[in-house]
Amino acid sequence: MSEDEPFDDWAKRYLARREARIGELRALPMDGPPGRGAHVNPKAPRFLMRWTGYEWAAEAVVDDYAAAQRLLHGIVQPGPEPGVPGRPLPKPTGRHRKPPPS
């Protein structure tokens, strides 16, 4: 909040940002403190937490980091788990795109 901004304007912006996040999901490892990097123990079970507008509430428990990413981002990973719901990986774009077969 700047010195010249009225409190009412600041409060409206603050509440709009908070409301926009309602329903947002995040994954937290069940072992150890929150805020650790996902790479520290990717095989550990994860809590899926949903923002309610006031707090992060427990939504579900998943087996590991890969399962959490599939649920958070809807990514279908190739592997031994057939029928995992989600959408396929996006097609590569930009300079990293493979050239079309000739």
In the chain, domain spans:
23-86
Place of tokens 């097609």: 91
Q: For residue 97, how many C-alpha atoms fall within 13 Å in the half-sphere facing its CB? A: 9
Residues 61-83 as b/e (b if ≥16 CB within 10 A, e otherwise) read: ebebbbbbbbbeeeeeeeeeeee
End-to-end CA distance of the chain: 58
pTM of full prediction above 0.75: no
Q: What single DSSP character describes residue 79?
A: S
pLDDT band at 8 (very low <50, low <70, confident <90, very high): very high
User: What confidence tens digit (pLDDT) does each residue in 32-90 have?
Assistant: 776 677 777 888 888 888 888 888 888 888 888 888 888 888 765 444 455 445 455 55
Sheet with 25-29: strands ordered across: 25-29, 46-51, 56-62
